[in-house]
Structure 1
Amino acid sequence: MKAEAWLFTGVAGFFAVTATVYGVFAHEPAGKAALVVAFLMSALVAVFCWAQHVKRGPRPADDPSADIASGTGPLDFFAPASSYPLLTAAGAAVLALGVVYGLWLALIGFGVLAPGVAGFVFQYARRG
């Protein structure tokens, strides 16, 4: 994850510099907001990649002298079929419609979205 971490750190740095320069010279709030959000999103991915690199150490792909066979074997745990993606997508869709049509529909959407997200988070929490 080290190469990806450096890549997204560079992207975040680019957006930070661009947002700063644009904020000084432009008097338009939408562009500033878009550049700040782009910086925050790329910084979030960069922090995640750095945390994974620190937590798991270097991968075989990070070592130029590694053999192809050193990258074989199970990579990680991947969940089998689950109904939580469907529940989360339905909740997000109803919540988005609620933003357009009214608070009552947004609250229903949030009520459907919250168990979907909680299911994603805690579905395999007790897995050894």
Structure 2
Amino acid sequence: MHIALKAGERIFINGAVLRVDRKTSLELMNNAVFLLEAHVLQPQDTTTPLRQIYFVLQSMLMDPVAASHARDLAEVLIASTRKTFSNRDIVDGLGEVEAYMAEDRLFDALKTIRGLYSIEAMIMSGKVADRSRTGETEAA
């Protein structure tokens, strides 16, 4: 896998933080768990249920030593979020996240959550009712 990085950009690989001093590209020659800096959520941005789950999952990638404790918290947050929303896209997405977690595919779980951000934002702003699938909901 080839990864292009800009000068000063960081990448998190298998729990290590790397920063490049100039534009460069990396080629990962084996399986590695990585997270690009652009996908790292800061603590002050964990303002919604999905962002809180994302932050915990990202912590599992960035600090593999503490991953088992973070996994327990992620499971609690997912269960709580599932009770908070009735929107089928979000509920189904959370099911996908759990399946990815069970397979240790955390990057895929993060990608799934990022894909649900816009639905969550529409529901929380009242632009879409929290029912069925987003495409089938009525505007509030």
The TM-score with structure 2 as length reference comes to 0.24
Structure (1 or 2) with the greater helix fraction: 1
Which structure's residues are more often strand, by fraction? 2
Q: Taking structure 1 as the reference length, what is the TM-score of the superposition?
A: 0.26
Q: Which has the larger radius of gyration?
A: 1
Which has the bigger relative contact order, CA under 8 A and spacing at least 6? 1
